[in-house]
Amino acid sequence: MKSAFTVLFAALAVAAGIQTALAHHSSAGFSEGTKVVAGTVKEFQFRNPHSWIQINVTDESGKVTEWSVEWGSPNQLGRDGIRPSTFPAGTQITIKLRPDLSGHPIGIFVGAKMSDGKIVGKWSDE
Amino acid sequence: MTTRFVTGLALFASFLMAPARSYPQTPTLTPFDKLPDWSGTWAMTGGTVFDRATQTGKGGTIDPGVREHPPYNAVYEKKYAEHLKLRDADRYPDVQTNCGVPSGFPRILNLPDAYEFVVRPDVFYIIAENGGNTMRVYTDGRKLPGKEDTWGTYTGVSVGHWEGDTLVWQTVGLKGDRDNDSILDRTGLVLSDEAKITTRLRKIDAQTLEAQMAIEDPKALTKTWNVTKQFKKGKPGLFLYDYGCAENNRNPVDPATGQTHTLGSDGKLIK
């Protein structure tokens, strides 16, 4: 049941992920490849025109960097099952994103893996 | 007899002296029960590449290499090529990034999110959830205004009529690329302020509305540009929401360079 839910949720969110192409800007500044970062959700801004997932990532030296991960609009994501409660503050998550080419801690959302293994968006490379 | 004659004369005189009305003197309204049922919500199929039939390059409008091939003349082809070059360099921000201008027409038929198509005897409304855009097509028998009575707006002026279950309308009075703030999609497609568009909107099956646009533009095109967009019916009971673009816009644009910045969650500039 859980796996069925996960697949369904992932499928819906993949559809939602397509909407990342609706960012205000060209995709020229973002890598075609993906990067994985793990951290703690600081805030999920479920607002127009685009949602943002803020996560604090701690490196080996203990330095904390806040990443800004851009996603679709609440109207689009809401119809695909995403809610403001999807990424509660304080939750440990791993996010796959298309990183900003200039090296700033910014990315376009691809997928997320929750601590219980639940997938949101696209995680596999298939 | 004399009284009736005088009264009739007075009525005739008042008719002659009545000011001309801009509202149609002979309304040709189609009654509600003769109008098609386009109720519910709708969503455009495919992405926001305006003319997917002529698309080359892989991806969507913001992906480098993607372009369309309208029958532009040399001047507008050059202009489009410049926009594409800027897009590929991330220096062609969507004109709506300032969250202040409407999508306009025909872009209002090229938006993500949900739509409502409201059919009334006297007017037809396109209500797009994205951007909060609205378009009006008057179907009460009025004529299009003359050129001297239009001054260029994002959505222009539209007058239509019913041919069976097909709504046919013409749109004029578009501002086009006059102020560089009205595009058809994010590849940088534009029209001029002389564009005239004839649109035929009809239901091709229970779940699909199809808009066929014939775009004429003597300033920008060498021939009529035909573009078709389709819309699928949404699930029953779907809620539509507002879309406050300025609510949390973290991608402001530098008007001098065209660079799209990114703000952090604290509102401070990241890049």
pLDDT digits 0-9 by tens, A21-44: 345 666 778 888 999 999 999 999
Q: How far apart are CA A87 and CA A77, in angstroms?
A: 13
Residue B141's CATH number? 2.40.128.20
What pLDDT does residue B33 have? 93
Measured between CA atoms, how close is B44 to chain A, in angstroms? Answer: 13
Structural domain includes residue B11: no
Structural domain includes residue A53: yes
Q: Do the interacting molecules here have an ipTM over 0.90?
A: no
- Residue A26 has its nearest CB partner, among B48, B62, B241, at B62
Tens of pLDDT along A67-106? 999 999 999 999 999 999 999 999 999 999 999 999 999 9
What pLDDT does residue B19 have? 45
What pLDDT does residue B1 have? 43
What pLDDT does residue A2 have? 38
Is the pLDDT at A8 greater than 50? The verdict is no
Angle value at C-alpha B240, between B239 and B243, nearest 5 degrees: 145
Structural domain includes residue A80: yes
Can the peptide bond before residue B93 be classed as cis, meaning omega within 30 degrees of 0? Answer: no
Number of domains in chain B: 1
Is the pLDDT at B165 greater than 50? The verdict is yes
- Judging contacts by C-beta atoms under 8 Å, the chain B residues touching residue A46 are none
Beta bridge pairs of residue B43: B114, B232
Beta bridge pairs of residue B125: B118, B136
What pLDDT does residue B27 have? 62
SS3 B42: strand
Could you tell me the residue range of the domain that residue B218 belongs to?
A: 32-233
Structural domain includes residue B18: no
Compute the average pLDDT of residues B177-200.
96
What pLDDT does residue B93 have? 85
Higher pLDDT, B20 or B72: B72
Structural domain includes residue A126: no
Is the pLDDT at B259 greater than 90? The verdict is no
Tens of pLDDT along B118-143? 999 999 999 999 988 999 999 999 99
Can the peptide bond before residue A49 be classed as cis, meaning omega within 30 degrees of 0? Answer: yes
Which range (A46-50, A51-55, B6-10, B149-153) has the least confidence?
Answer: B6-10
Q: Do A23 and B251 lie within an 8 Å CB cutoff? A: yes
Whether residue B156 contacts residue B172, with contact meaning beta carbons closer than 8 Å, is answered with: yes
Structural domain includes residue B101: yes
Q: What are phi and psi of A87, to 5 degrees?
A: -125, 85
What pLDDT does residue B264 have? 95
Structural domain includes residue B10: no
DSSP type of residue B234? P
What pLDDT does residue B12 have? 52
Structural domain includes residue B144: yes
Q: Does B94 touch chain A (CB under 8 A)?
A: yes
- Residue A52 has its nearest CB partner, among B91, B130, B265, at B265
Q: Over pLDDT 70: what percentage of chain A?
A: 78
What pLDDT does residue B132 have? 84
Is the pLDDT at B191 greater than 60? The verdict is yes
Is the pLDDT at B246 greater than 70? The verdict is yes
What pLDDT does residue B95 have? 85
- Residue B92 has its nearest CB partner, among A26, A66, A73, at A26
Tens of pLDDT along B88-116? 998 988 888 778 889 999 999 999 999 99
Q: Does B11 touch chain A (CB under 8 A)?
A: no
Element counts in chain B: helices (H) and strands (E): 2, 9
Angle value at C-alpha A40, between B265 and A87, nearest 5 degrees: 75
Structural domain includes residue B247: no
Whether residue B221 contacts residue B71, with contact meaning beta carbons closer than 8 Å, is answered with: yes
Measured between CA atoms, how close is B191 to chain A, in angstroms? Answer: 21
Structural domain includes residue B49: yes
Q: Which two tokens stand for residue B114?
A: 């949900």
- Judging contacts by C-beta atoms under 8 Å, the chain A residues touching residue B129 are 75
Measured between CA atoms, how close is B111 to chain A, in angstroms? Answer: 10
Residue A24's CATH number? 2.40.50.140
Is the pLDDT at A49 greater than 70? The verdict is yes
Could you tell me the residue range of the domain that residue A96 belongs to?
A: 2-121
DSSP type of residue B99? S
Query: Model confidence at B171, in pLDDT bands (50, 70, 90)?
Result: very high
What pLDDT does residue A28 have? 74
Structural domain includes residue A65: yes
Is the pLDDT at A18 greater than 60? The verdict is no
What pLDDT does residue B10 have? 52
Structural domain includes residue B108: yes
What pLDDT does residue A98 have? 95
Number of domains in chain A: 1
Choose among B80, B129, B75: nearest CA to B241.
B129
